[in-house]
Amino acid sequence: MSRNTPMTDGSSWANALRVPRILWGALLWSCVIYGGLIVAGIFPPAEAALVDPPLVMALAGASVGVAVASFVLPARMLARGVSQLALETREVADPDAAVMFRDAAPKRLEIADPVAARARIMTVYFTPFILSCALSEAVAVFGIVVAATGAASFEIALSFVAVGALLLAIRFPTAGAIEAQVERHTKARFPKA
């Protein structure tokens, strides 16, 4: 008998999402710390003679590429993982459908065992989630590089950090978002509580 870890505890989404939410918060706070370091003046101010527009443009281009990758790569990984799960489903009458006769009610697929499904889903969700967060934080790290090298003003360095923090903020793990992704790939809904 295998013992559930906090992440594979499928008894509720709150339990299953505890670890991803803690990691999300830690990475978001790291962006706040990066911004604080820049604002606190830890790095020497950029002097007009040291400003390096090609470096800033290269980091800006890399940031765009990393930001796009933070959406595309995890989505593909998750789609592949969910499609290989083979979750147990059952056919039930669709309670949202308007029908005249109960016998003619349209059917829909529903996940048969939501507890087991949550536990299995979290095993494939975690890696794409961490990858999306790490790639988002990389944009903020580029801001630290800009500030540390004095390649541009602090405002430009802070803009990298702000974009990285924004990319992280939109990735807060919620049950609804995970269920929507699973439903999109399996065509089966989670039963309503």
Residue 140 lies in a domain: yes
Q: What is the pLDDT of residues 46-100, one digit of tens each?
A: 665 466 788 889 999 999 999 999 999 999 999 999 888 888 888 877 766 666 6
Q: Does a structural domain hold residue 181?
A: yes
**Structural domain span for residue 154:** 13-85+112-189
Q: Which long-range contacts (CB under 8 A, 24 or more apart) does 59-66 make?
A: 59/142, 59/145, 59/146, 59/151, 59/160, 60/160, 62/142, 63/138, 63/139, 63/142, 63/160, 63/163, 66/135, 66/138, 66/139, 66/142
Q: Is residue 116 part of a domain?
A: yes
How many domains are there within the chain? 1
Q: Over the stretch 134-193, which tens digit does the pLDDT of each residue have?
A: 999 999 999 999 988 888 888 999 999 999 999 999 999 999 999 888 888 888 888 876
Asked, for residue 103, whether it belongs to a domain, the answer is no
pLDDT of residue 131: 96
